[in-house]
Structure 1
Amino acid sequence: MPRLKPANKFRSLQEICESNYRKLLRLIPHLPRLSQRAVAQLGNKPTLHLELKDRGRYTMTLELSYCLRHGSQPVFEPALKFRVYLDARMVEALGDCERAIQPTPAGPEALERKWLLNYFLAKWLDHCLYHGYRFAAVDDPAYADV
């Protein structure tokens, strides 16, 4: 499978992170007020789960996953962890929680891995938005027990 090769990967990464923030706001309009967990359901499509892992003054760490059924067991995959920088209006993908953690590469390999993770998040957010997924407002009674 051929790899995408942007001319300036660092600049491209910054643009992807900024774009991912805008996409995330469309998916989660109430993002700054997000509670611990939320679920977006869309007909017979897999449910989209969102979990707040950490909150700081200017950042939030979230995990986004589909809940798929494998027999009678739920499988949460992909499970992508990312950090939201509320002040800089950027989203940075941190890793795929379901895969074995690989040692963090150094040099150009680190930028390549970071770029690929954020590109994957961009495409996944595009997919979710295209299919109409949205997380309802925090005070929506549908999420009282989530």
Structure 2
Amino acid sequence: MRMPWYPWSLRSLANSRPSVGWLMDLCDENHVLMCRLAPGLRDFTGSHRSRLGDGMDLHLEVLEQTPYTTLVHLTYYFTREGARSRPDPDARLRVYHDCAQVEVLALRQHALPLEPLFEHPALDQKWKANLFLSKWLAYCLQQGHRFTSAPRQSLPDLSETG
């Protein structure tokens, strides 16, 4: 699998702030990756799980379907003995089918420090969140994760187990 290619260099990222154009390019790349991860996402409903033999299960839940967008929740659930499952990374994403973009609406994870709610300066925070998503989606694809349109059958809610 070819890793995503970005039109910006690491030097330009280090020496300047991201632009709206760069963010739009990144959201476009995220859409390409999401379409590879979940082909036919427009027709998905309910909860889905991509299970690998020896890897973590990747969970995708369709929260809302409209004619032009899909709202999804994407996460891994880490379980600890005697404790509740913990989602990480835990992302809420808006997939724009009409303009082929994916935007991070909310992202909780422990690898990258982000300000909550994309407060000022919002462009920098959105850039970091969407760049994290791009790397994560590419990693999931590299691992072999894929979702099909058939929802999983009444599996327990892992976020409430304990």
Which band: TM-score by shorter chain? 0.7 to 0.9
Bigger mean CA offset, 88-97 vs 19-28: 88-97
Q: Deviations over 1:83-138 (max 9, x none)?
A: 000111110011125789835423xx110001111001000001000110011232
Q: 2:65 aligns with which of 55, 61, 77?
A: 55
Which residue identity is paired with 1:85? Y
Paired residue for 1:71?
Answer: 81
Instruction: Tell me the C-alpha RMSD between the 2 structures.
Output: 2.5
- Asked if 1:89 is matched to 2:103, the reply is no
Could you tell me which runs of 5 or more consecutive residues in structure 2 were left unpaired when the two chains were aligned: 1-11, 156-162
Could you tell me which runs of 5 or more consecutive residues in structure 1 were left unpaired when the two chains were aligned: none
Structure with greater proportional strand content: 1
- Whether contact under 8 Å (1:63, 1:81) holds in the other structure is yes
Q: Distance in 1 between matches of 2:117 and 2:42?
A: 32
Matched residue count: 140
Q: Equivalences for 1:1-146 in 2 at 5 Å?
A: 4-5=13-14, 8-72=18-82, 73-97=84-108, 102=116, 104-106=118-120, 109-138=121-150, 143-146=152-155
Percent identity of equivalent pairs: 29
Q: Runs of 4+ in structure 1 displaced over 3 angstroms?
A: 3-8, 97-101
Report the TM-score, using the length of structure 1 for normalisation. Answer: 0.84
Report the TM-score, using the length of structure 2 for normalisation. Answer: 0.76
Please report how far the alpha carbon of residue 9 of structure 1 lies from its aligned counterpart in structure 2 after TM superposition. 2.1
Q: Distance in 2 between matches of 1:38 and 1:136?
A: 8
